[in-house]
Amino acid sequence: MADASSQIARTVPTRRPSRFKEFWRYFSENRGAVIGFWVFLAVFLVAVFADLLAPYDPAAQFRQHALQPPFWQSGGTWEFPLGTDALGRDMLSRLIHGARFSFFVGVVVVVVAATGGILIGLIAGFAPKWLDTIIMRLMDIILAFPSLLLALALVAILGPSLLNAMIAIALVLQPHYVRLTRASVINERTKDYVISAQVAGAGLPRLMFKTVLPNCLAPIIVQAALSFSTAILDAAALGFLGMGAQPPTPEWGTMLADAREFVLRAWWVITLPGLAILVTVLSINLMGDGLRDALDPKLKRS
Amino acid sequence: MLRYLLSRLITFVPTFIGVTLISFAFIRVLPGDPIIVMAGERGLTQERYEELVQRFGFDQPLWQQFWDYLTGVVQGDLGNSFVTNRPVWDEFFTLFPATLELSLCAIIFAMVLGIPAGVIAAVYRGKFFDRALMSTALVGYSMPIFWWALLLIIVFSGWLGWTPVSGRIGLLYYFDDVTGFMLIDSLLSGQDGAFGSAVQHLILPSIVLGTIPLAVIARQTRSAMLEVLSEDYIRTARAKGLSSGRVNGLHALRNAMIPVITVIGLSVGTLMAGAILTETIFSWPGIGKWMVDSIFRRDYPVVQGGLLLIALIVMLVNLTVDVLYGLINPKIRKR
């Protein structure tokens, strides 16, 4: 008997699980999200260690091997496992280095858009009504334009480059954060804990950043995951239209644009960069679904 | 109802002015002198330069320029293209039917597949079918559509040779625009095979443009159906002994359609953004391709006008959806 009870004591945790553990429990309930997480991690590691992993310099041209197919097709060799492009550059090396650009774009865009958006959203949530109205009307104006079109026009003003594409995409994505933050701030502001903090003499900055913001973060984190994938997709689309990263940058969208004329001759120069974009974006979206379930039970889709 | 309509219209006006202001600012924040930039390598004589300064009104004070622009917009005057010298308004509305035709076909494709898929997934919730459909929807949602277009071209145009790669109709056929919709015009022309050719040209672009809306509609239909299926009146309908087809199809779907229709209405923005990529790849002569070409030609009056008109169309559709939603659902009106 004593044996059994001590066994129960050993298996049943006596303390409340840590926040991370609790998060992971909900997150791992969603199998797709876990797969997404591991794929995302793999792409991330590829991006970090691109220099070590890539067999060649992504810009090195082997002219005598131009448009060589992948190894499993006749004419392909293990020398270039995924074939070469029209200038004889190794596809595998270019794809590996491309992961860097996509991550870079995703991280920078999300950080810029989220920081700006959260700040403006907090201000709008706490501001007097007239300022709130002005801010929200401004956001409505930005949202009236289809995002890719506005980004395209902005890049036309700033000049085509990866940096300008990132600025444009961040600007276009920002209103979503503003709306989300403002909505949750307004929801939280009238709650008792905020009023008691106010009564206790907390200043406005403390009230905004320490009291209210941490309680608004869940939907914002989910939005961050979703806009990470939007940023990668839009940057690739701009690259594809010739308005993002410029050749010879091994950015996946730009690679697709370069390869367009070989669409009916060399399937691998088309298929592989797009597949890389799809896998990365899909893994992030899978993760985003899991994050939403774990962080924001209110939004949980049945 | 009238008050609701009025309040929606009142918020529309500042947004309209703001959107006009952004497109007005577009040409003026370009680095360097916009006229010199537009002229590019061709260069300009001093006389021509001064003439253009006057035509664009750059010699006027800024507020005067904006006022002229705003009154011009209201009267349908968006200036002339720098390249063709035709009014931007005319160019837009000659090309718009092509984009509208493509977008309509895309959204019909998305609805015809997406709504049944969502209903089936909801009815068989958690089963294999549900999981397979929803995974596919997520793949569609994550799809870089410009790549998807190229893949479809490789398979259907390259390997199978079923569909043409670009344009709206075969070169063999020629007839005048009547409605601007190729499907209708080709029928009206009475030429043998013209309609078939138009359909063949439409298939791939419609699939490409409809893919993301398809995924969104399928997901939205599923979650709306799931919500409705747990309502009391569904249980009552089941208890009355109605067949499950009748319950799911008639009672549930009808009530689940409201959020789905909203999502469809609000996907105009997605369609317009998608049209830019789809039209560029398939050389579809619509406003998306026109915008991209104009950006590359530095035809800034066109870019400016197109930006404004597309935003206005998106805003008008969103406003209509909002108003219709308020009409169907009185709860929204009260807020």
Using one digit for the tens of pLDDT, what is the confidence trace for A153-184? 888 888 888 899 999 999 999 999 999 999 88
Question: In this structure, are B162 and B217 located in the same domain?
Answer: yes
What are the structure tokens assigned to A216, written together?
A: 């608004």
Is residue A237 assigned to a domain?
yes
Question: In this structure, are B149 and B22 located in the same domain?
Answer: no
Using one digit for the tens of pLDDT, what is the confidence trace for B57-69? 777 788 888 888 8
Cβ–Cβ contact B45 with A under 8 A: no
Is residue A284 assigned to a domain?
yes
Average pLDDT over residues B46-51: 78
Q: What is the pLDDT of residue A115?
A: 94
Nearest CA in chain A to B16: A141
Using one digit for the tens of pLDDT, what is the confidence trace for B86-104? 899 999 999 999 999 999 9
Residue-range definition of the domain harbouring residue B13: 2-74
Is residue A204 assigned to a domain?
yes
Using alpha carbons, select from A166, A295, A160, A272 the residue that is nearest to residue A228: A166
Paired strand residues for B87: B80
Count structural domains, chain A.
1
Question: In this structure, are B150 and B238 located in the same domain?
Answer: yes
Q: Do B151 and A148 touch (CB under 8 A)?
A: no
d(CA B190, CA B183): 12
**CB–CB contacts below 8 A, A to B:** 128
State whether residue B42 is helix, strand or coil.
helix
Neighbours of B40 (CB within 10 A): 11
Out of B18, B150, B272, the one facing A270 most closely (by C-beta) is B150
Using alpha carbons, select from A10, A193, A276, A223 the residue that is nearest to residue A109: A223
Q: Cα Rg for chain A, rounded, in angstroms?
A: 24
Share of chain B above pLDDT 70, in %: 96
Residue B300 DSSP symbol: H
Residue-range definition of the domain harbouring residue A113: 18-299
d(CA B70, CA A286): 45
Residue A18 DSSP symbol: P
Is residue A106 assigned to a domain?
yes
Is residue A70 assigned to a domain?
yes
Residue A262 DSSP symbol: G
Q: Do B142 and A302 touch (CB under 8 A)?
A: no
Is residue A12 assigned to a domain?
no
Is residue B89 assigned to a domain?
no
Average pLDDT over residues B276-302: 90
Is residue A249 assigned to a domain?
yes
Cβ–Cβ contact B228 with A under 8 A: no
Q: What is the pLDDT of residue A35?
A: 92
* Helix H or strand E segment including B148: helix B145-152
Q: What is the pLDDT of residue B279?
A: 93
Question: In this structure, are B136 and B186 located in the same domain?
Answer: yes
Nearest CA in chain B to A267: B154
Is residue B84 assigned to a domain?
no
Contact yes or no for B288/B275 (Cβ under 8 A): yes
Cβ–Cβ contact B138 with A under 8 A: yes
* A15 band by pLDDT with thresholds 50, 70 and 90: low
Q: A192: domain CATH number?
A: 1.10.3720.10
Is residue A4 assigned to a domain?
no
Count structural domains, chain B.
2
Q: What is the pLDDT of residue A300?
A: 47
Q: Do A243 and B295 touch (CB under 8 A)?
A: yes
Q: Do A149 and B276 touch (CB under 8 A)?
A: yes
Distance of CA B194 to the CA centre of its chain: 26
Is residue B333 assigned to a domain?
no
pTM: 0.86
State whether residue A95 is helix, strand or coil.
helix
Contacts of B58 (CB under 8 A, 6+ apart): B34, B35, B65
Neighbours of A95 (CB within 10 A): 21
Q: What is the pLDDT of residue B275?
A: 92
Q: B154: domain CATH number?
A: 1.10.3720.10
Is residue B240 assigned to a domain?
yes
Question: In this structure, are B132 and B43 located in the same domain?
Answer: no
- Number of helices (H), then strands (E), belonging to chain A: the values are 13, 0
Is residue B87 assigned to a domain?
no
Is residue B36 assigned to a domain?
yes
Q: What is the pLDDT of residue A226?
A: 87
How large is the ipTM? Answer: 0.86
Residue A68 DSSP symbol: P
Is residue B170 assigned to a domain?
yes
Average pLDDT over residues B2-6: 81
Question: In this structure, are B37 and B156 located in the same domain?
Answer: no
Using alpha carbons, select from B334, B301, B8 the residue that is nearest to residue A140: B8
**Minimum distance, in Å, between the CA of residue B18 and any CA atom of chain A:** 6
Contact yes or no for A185/A216 (Cβ under 8 A): yes
